Amino acid sequence: MTEPQSALLLRRQLAELNKNPVEGFSAGLIDDNDLYRWEVLIIGPPDTLYEGGVFKAHLTFPKDYPLRPPKMKFITEIWHPNVDKSGDVCISILHEPGEDKYGYEKPEERWLPIHTVETIMISVISMLADPNGDSPANVDAAKEWREDRHGEFKRKVARCVVASLFRVSN
């Protein structure tokens, strides 16, 4: 039986990331027998509140990838306006192409089949450095980020950064 095109593409992207790692994250399979479920470790970007943290997330790819985007969920707790309280990441690049159900995105900002795991992860790292407060998935984090960025928001992020170091080592 031949492997689906999506599996071949994911295998190729994983091999490329292993051969030529990208600064800021690492990626691998959760289960060696399932190319559609990946685990990524994201290093908190330098000069941000997330610096020093190591955040674990899962990418779940649909069988018709790359026509549809994967879903991304942080496993490590993270306090961020664009990550809901259950860990689901809400950024334009992971939104389905077509109709804008959120009312604020340009079509070119949403998912396109040319995107790769690398472009997704670069977008997520950029999101950590520069949250989009106009379209929050976590309204409480967005409010704190706007109103008390260097107070309560910073304290909550710092707690997540410290906790991330203990969770990754376990």
Catalytic residue among 90, 93, 125, 128: 90
**Environment class of residue 48 by beta-carbon count within 10 Å: exposed (0-12), middle (13-18) or buried (19+)?**
middle
Q: Is 160 a catalytic residue?
A: no
Lay out the sheet containing 37-43: strands in order across: 25-29, 37-43, 54-60, 71-74
Between CA 107 and CA 115, with CA 113 as vertex, the angle to 5 degrees is 90
Please give the structure tokens belonging to residue 127.
């999101």
Tell me which DSSP letter residue 32 carries.
T
**Catalytic residue IDs:** 90
